[in-house]
């Protein structure tokens, strides 16, 4: 297919077959898989392309709560999610001498917001989402080299010499998104790209993450403890752990060479040596360190990553749109990166499902604009909260002051802060809605009212029938 930017003809839908737009998703991470799962349920054609040849169980623990519970329930995977997750009633902040400094409790969240919070390993959740998508829709070892788009479609070219054609392109390929880079290159030539979007991704921390092999209570007594300290235990009796290095101007230069959008073990060995003596709380008499966690973990599954932080201003252009880390990269201290990628997928799927048959480029771009307008406020709030949490666990004077303030906040203030975060509980417009039992009602979600192309066509038919009957 030859992509022609000038082609933007109006369709005569009265004489054309009712065709849904074909969606090409680049990136098989949690955001891309969630979108694929939803498009599959909406019977919208899609393909997912992932540059990795195989999916490795990299990464550490992830936290999901009432903000994603409605999605899991609507998709029929909530019970399985609970089976691989572990209830987390609180997080305890500890000092280096292994004493509890203060405790952040989550008790009462089920009554307030409709669901409890759970810890799950990244690999377990990835596998759960992947199983909801037909295997023939997910294409591995597909590295995108270039993208083209215009009034008549989108075109992907891969490093293996193959191509893919579609109507919509979704960049779900991480912080260093190739889709975003191609989109921004085009927009920059057209003088449509804000200057800040051209700047390099800023980062102030690097992180090493890992997950142990299944342990016994003799090795790690806190396996049965539901509360979390500086490590997270899982339902599979593994321990997910991490260590964060806070950078100054000089150490940022030293770590700049390790920037990439993938979890990978290549640079982990040196940092493992650097943090191995860090004390951890295990619940037993033996004083364990991160060195014990490293020893109990498979070395090729320990990874070092830079933790970039930025919300881009430009999320779409023509037939291309971005979700997750490709348009907003958050520090994982706030535990909001993955859930916000899923929220992106919900809002975008609702908008794509609402497109007319044979959508023109301007109709697609208008839907993308509504998607960003719906998400940007929630994303900015989560971004600021993630920065606060990142600052709270640091060792600088501002970090110590932040911890002191948080420790002394009245319960009613904490509840107010939580309500602003947990009231965002979006649902999928084209799936049966689930009852929200939280006493704090869900926040506004404009895309929940979006009707599908079939519903719009049916409504038009009913109206025309009524008019014809009235005329007779």
What are the pLDDT digits (tens) for 214-236?
Answer: 999 888 887 766 544 457 888 88
- pLDDT (mean) for 103-107: 77
Kindly state whether residues 304 and 316 are assigned to the same domain. no
- pLDDT (mean) for 362-386: 95
Query: Pick from 281, 308, 335: which residue ends a domain?
Result: 308
Can you give the pLDDT at residue 254?
A: 53
What are the pLDDT digits (tens) for 247-256?
Answer: 765 555 555 5
Q: Calculate what percentage of the chain has a pLDDT beyond 90.
A: 50
What are the pLDDT digits (tens) for 413-455?
Answer: 777 777 778 899 999 999 999 999 898 899 999 999 998 877 7
What are the pLDDT digits (tens) for 147-194?
Answer: 999 888 999 999 999 999 999 999 999 999 999 999 999 999 999 999
Q: What are phi and psi of 205, to 5 degrees?
A: -145, 155
Kindly state whether residues 327 and 394 are assigned to the same domain. yes
Kindly state whether residues 289 and 348 are assigned to the same domain. no
Kindly state whether residues 302 and 355 are assigned to the same domain. no
Q: How far apart are CA 260 and CA 99, in angstroms?
A: 36
Query: Pick from 282, 308, 334: which residue ends a domain?
Result: 308
Tokens of 400: 């110590």
Can you give the pLDDT at residue 3?
A: 63
- pLDDT (mean) for 336-354: 96
pTM of the predicted model as reported, rounded to 2 decimal places: 0.88
Residue reference for tokens 């102030």: 204
Kindly state whether residues 194 and 210 are assigned to the same domain. no
Can you give the pLDDT at residue 458?
A: 58
Q: Is the pLDDT of residue 120 over 80?
A: yes
Q: Is the pLDDT of residue 343 over 80?
A: yes
Query: Pick from 308, 325, 345: which residue ends a domain?
Result: 308
Domain that holds residue 44: 23-58+120-201+311-455
Kindly state whether residues 331 and 295 are assigned to the same domain. no
Q: Is the pLDDT of residue 411 over 90?
A: no
Residue 8 inside a domain? The answer is: no
Can you give the pLDDT at residue 103?
A: 73
Q: Is the pLDDT of residue 8 over 80?
A: no
Q: Rg of the chain's alpha carbons, rounded to an integer? A: 23
Q: pLDDT higher for 105 or 83?
A: 83
Kindly state whether residues 51 and 39 are assigned to the same domain. yes
Kindly state whether residues 426 and 332 are assigned to the same domain. yes
Residue 154 inside a domain? The answer is: yes
Residue 274 inside a domain? The answer is: yes
Kindly state whether residues 298 and 414 are assigned to the same domain. no
Contact assessment for residue 59 and residue 210, using Cβ atoms and an 8 Å cutoff: no
Kindly state whether residues 27 and 131 are assigned to the same domain. yes
Can you give the pLDDT at residue 456?
A: 65
Per the DSSP assignment, residues forming a β-bridge with 104 are: 91
């Amino acid at each position: 297919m030859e992509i022609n930017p000038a082609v933007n003809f109006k369709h005569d839908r009265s004489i054309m077959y009712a065709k849904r737009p074909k969606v090409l998703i680049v990136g098989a991470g949690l955001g891309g898989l969630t979108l694929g799962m939803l498009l599959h349920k909406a019977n919208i054609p899609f393909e997912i392309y992932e540059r990795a040849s195989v999916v490795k169980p990299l990464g550490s623990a992830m936290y999901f709560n009432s903000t994603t519970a409605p999605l899991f329930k609507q998709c029929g995977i909530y019970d399985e999610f609970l089976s691989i997750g572990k209830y987390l009633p609180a997080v305890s902040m500890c000092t280096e001498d292994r004493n509890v400094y203060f405790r952040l409790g989550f008790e009462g969240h089920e009554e307030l917001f409709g669901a409890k919070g759970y810890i799950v390993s990244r690999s377990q959740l990835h596998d759960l989402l992947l199983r909801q998508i037909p295997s023939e829709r997910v294409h591995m070892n597909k590295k995108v080299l270039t993208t083209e788009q215009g009034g008549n479609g989108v075109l992907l070219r891969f490093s293996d010499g193959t191509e893919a054609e579609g109507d919509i392109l979704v960049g779900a390929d991480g912080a260093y998104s190739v889709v975003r880079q191609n989109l921004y290159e085009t927009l920059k030539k057209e003088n449509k790209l804000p200057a800040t979007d051209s700047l390099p991704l800023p980062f102030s921390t690097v992180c090493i993450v890992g997950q142990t092999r299944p342990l016994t209570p003799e090795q790690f007594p806190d396996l049965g403890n539901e509360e979390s300290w500086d490590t997270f235990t899982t339902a599979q009796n593994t321990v997910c752990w991490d260590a964060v290095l806070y950078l100054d101007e000089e150490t940022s230069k030293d770590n700049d060479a390790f920037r990439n959008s993938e979890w990978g073990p290549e640079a982990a060995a040196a940092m493992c040596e650097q943090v191995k003596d860090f004390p951890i709380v295990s619940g037993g008499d033996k004083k364990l360190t991160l060195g014990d966690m490293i020893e109990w973990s498979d070395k090729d599954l320990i990874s070092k990553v830079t933790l970039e932080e930025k919300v881009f201003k430009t999320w779409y252009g023509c037939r291309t749109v971005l979700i997750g880390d490709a348009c907003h990269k958050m520090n994982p201290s706030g535990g909001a990166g993955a859930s916000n990628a899923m929220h992106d997928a919900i809002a975008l799927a609702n908008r794509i499902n609402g497109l007319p048959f044979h959508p023109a480029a301007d109709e697609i771009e208008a839907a993308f604009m509504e998607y960003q307008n719906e998400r940007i406020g929630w994303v900015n709030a989560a971004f600021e909260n993630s920065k606060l949490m990142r600052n709270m666990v640091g060792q600088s004077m501002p970090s110590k002051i932040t911890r002191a303030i948080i420790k002394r906040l009245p319960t009613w203030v904490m509840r107010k802060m939580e309500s602003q975060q947990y009231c965002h509980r979006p649902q999928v417009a084209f799936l049966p809605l689930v009852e929200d039992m939280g006493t704090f009602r869900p926040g506004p979600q404009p895309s929940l009212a979006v009707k599908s192309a079939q519903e719009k066509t049916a409504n038009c038919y009913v109206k025309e029938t009524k008019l014809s009957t009235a005329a007779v």
